[in-house]
Amino acid sequence: MDDEKKKGFLIRLRSSVIVTVLAAGALFCGGLVLFLAVAAVSMIALFELFKALGLRKTGLEAAGFMGAALYLEAVWLGWDNGLFLALFLAFVLILGTYVFTFPKYEFGQAAETVFAILYIPVMLSFIYRTDLLTESIVYTALTLLAAWVPDVGAYCVGLLLGKHKMTPVLSPKKTVEGAVGAIVVAAGIGALYGFLFRESLGLFEHPVIAVMILFACGSVLAQIGDLVASAIKRNCGIKDYGNLIPGHGGILDRFDSVIVTAPAVYYLILLLMK
C-alpha cells in the first residue's frame, strides 16, 4: 500500500471509529438523546440531498424541511395515529408550494421533495421507533449493525475473491462474490451476536436464529440502500453528498445503508417476537 492510499485508509478508519463511538453513545443513552441524534442526522442528510438535487434555498426545500419537522415531532410525541397526518400535511405543504408558485418549479422537483422526506427522516426514524418498541440497546443496535457489518464482509470477501462485477456501470468495485460474502459474514456475526446476548434478547424465542435472520436480511437491504444512494449521486453528477465525515463524504454517504435497514429491522423484530 503506497503512502497516499495508506493515508486515505487511516483517515477513513479514524472517521469510522468516531462515528461508531458517537452512534454507540446515542444508542446507549436512548430516549431524548437518541431522538435528537436521529433528528440531527436526518436533517443534515436532507440538506445534503436537497443540495445534490439542486433544491437549495428554494421554497420546495423549505417545505421539505417543515414537512420533515412535522413528521419527526409526531414520532417524538409517540403519536402513531398522527404519523400519516403529519405526512399528509407535509405533502400539502409541498403541493401548495408547487402550485402557488407555478411555473417556478417543475413537477419532478416537487416529486423529489416528497421522495426526500420519505427516503430520509421517515426511514431513519425507525431507529428511534425501535428503541421505543424494545426499550433496550441490544435491539436498537441491530438497526445499525445490520447495515454496517455487511460493509465489512463485502469489502473483505470482495477484495480477496471478487471477480464478477455486480453493477459494472453503477458501482464497478462491487462484486457478486462480495455481495454473497456480505450475506454470509452478516449471518455468521448475527448468530454470534444472538448467542452472546441471548439472555438480553428475551423478546425472541430463538435469539440466535432471529438475529441471524435479521443480519442476513439486513445485508441484502444494506447493499440495495448503498446502491440507491450511488445511483442518485450518478444522476446528480456528484462524487459525494458532502465532506462532513473525512474519508467517507457526507452524512448521507455513511447512513445510506441504514436508511433501508432501519425499517426492516423494526418490522422483523415485530415478526420474530414471541
160: number of Cβ within 10 Å: 10
Tell whether the model's pLDDT for residue 1 goes beyond 60.
no
Q: Do the Cβ atoms of 49 and 61 come closer than 8 Å?
A: no
Model confidence pLDDT, tens digit, residues 69-103? 999 999 999 888 889 999 999 999 999 999 999 99
Sequence-distant (6+) residues with CB within 8 A of 205 are 274
Model confidence at 246, pLDDT cuts 50, 70, 90, reads: confident
Tell whether the model's pLDDT for residue 243 goes beyond 70.
yes
The pLDDT value given to residue 174 = 83
Model confidence pLDDT, tens digit, residues 249-270? 899 999 999 999 999 999 999 9
- The pairing of strands 165-167 and 171-175 is antiparallel
Q: How many Å apart are CA 36 and CA 27, to the nearest integer?
A: 11
